[in-house]
Amino acid sequence: MVCCGVAGCKNNSRNKTSDLSFFALPKEVNIRSKWIDRCGRKGKSTRICSAHFRDEDYEISYFVKKSVMGRQAARKKLKKEAVPSLNLPSLTLPRQGKHIIFCFVSI
């Protein structure tokens, strides 16, 4: 069973809807570190579900796969620079469980 690696996300391959996909962490180091920072978890087999990406993060894929019902569907493919940006965990300070508050002061 594949589970989404975003902290707090309950999506997995058992309760998967037809439009839900799972993506492995990118190999490119800079983009990979952004994924890990935003998702709150890291691991060799971590997968992130499509609920955390915007429509603009996908490119049109011409690869067509057959579904169980014999229908054809286009495969979702992320752009190389895509990073998770939707439904993400809030940032917390390590071991304190306090939320980070950003204050901007003009001088």
By CB atoms closer than 10 A (0-12, 13-18, 19+), residue 48 is buried
Question: Please, what is the average pLDDT of the chain?
Answer: 77
pLDDT tens digits along 10-36: 998 888 777 788 999 999 999 999 998
Q: Is the model more confident about 18 or about 81?
A: 81
Give the pLDDT mean for 81-93: 80
Asked if residue 4 lies in contact with residue 47, where contact means CB atoms within 8 angstroms, the answer is yes
Which amino acid type is present at position 18?
Answer: S
Tokens of 7: 């902290």
Q: What is the pTM of this model?
A: 0.70
Which has the closest alpha carbon to 53: 29, 19, 90? 19
Task: Calculate what percentage of the chain has a pLDDT beyond 70.
Answer: 67
- Comparing CA positions, the residue from 6, 69, 78, 79 lying closest to residue 42 is 6
CB atoms within 10 A of CB 75: 10
